[in-house]
Amino acid sequence: MPFSIRSLIAAAAVTVSFAVSDGGASAETGRASWYALTSKTASGERCDPRALTAAHRSLPFGTKVKVENLKNGRSVVVRINDRGPFIAGRIIDLTKGAATRLGFIKSGVTQVRITVLG
């Protein structure tokens, strides 16, 4: 059965970009940004800009991920409690607290690798 261009694009859009890394954990590489809101997150909890939490488009709430800043080697473990980012090319939105630990507050965005833990 032939596929239309539209169905191929739709299939590509839902493909998850995680790959298996050395310990069997899932890893994804892309750009990260940060935010410092105090409104409710998609999970229903209030966002705390100092907390080590993050927004991801598809990972289940409560998932813990290691985020590595590929520009300076710093890393932090965060818990997914929100949805986003909604800007093309970005794979995760971190709280200001997590971004501070990763050292990219001034630049606003950085290249990261995220690895799903346990």
In a domain, 93, yes or no: yes
Report the amino acid identity of residue 60: P
Instruction: Choose between 106 and 7: higher pLDDT.
Output: 106
Contact 53, 78 (CB under 8 A): yes
Structural domain that includes position 77 = 18-116
Residues 118 and 116: their CA atoms lie apart, in Å, by 7
Closest CA to 54 of 5, 105, 25, 94: 94
In a domain, 11, yes or no: no
In a domain, 60, yes or no: yes
Domain count, the chain: 1
User: What predicted TM-score, i.e. pTM, was given to this entire model?
Assistant: 0.77
In a domain, 6, yes or no: no
- Find the CATH number of the domain harbouring 108: 2.40.40.10
In a domain, 102, yes or no: yes
In a domain, 79, yes or no: yes
In a domain, 7, yes or no: no
In a domain, 111, yes or no: yes
List pLDDT tens digits, range 15-39: 334 443 445 568 899 999 999 988 9
**DSSP state letters, 12-47:** HHT----EE-TTS-EEEEEEEEEE---SB-TTSSBP
List pLDDT tens digits, range 56-98: 999 999 999 999 999 999 999 999 999 999 999 999 999 999 9
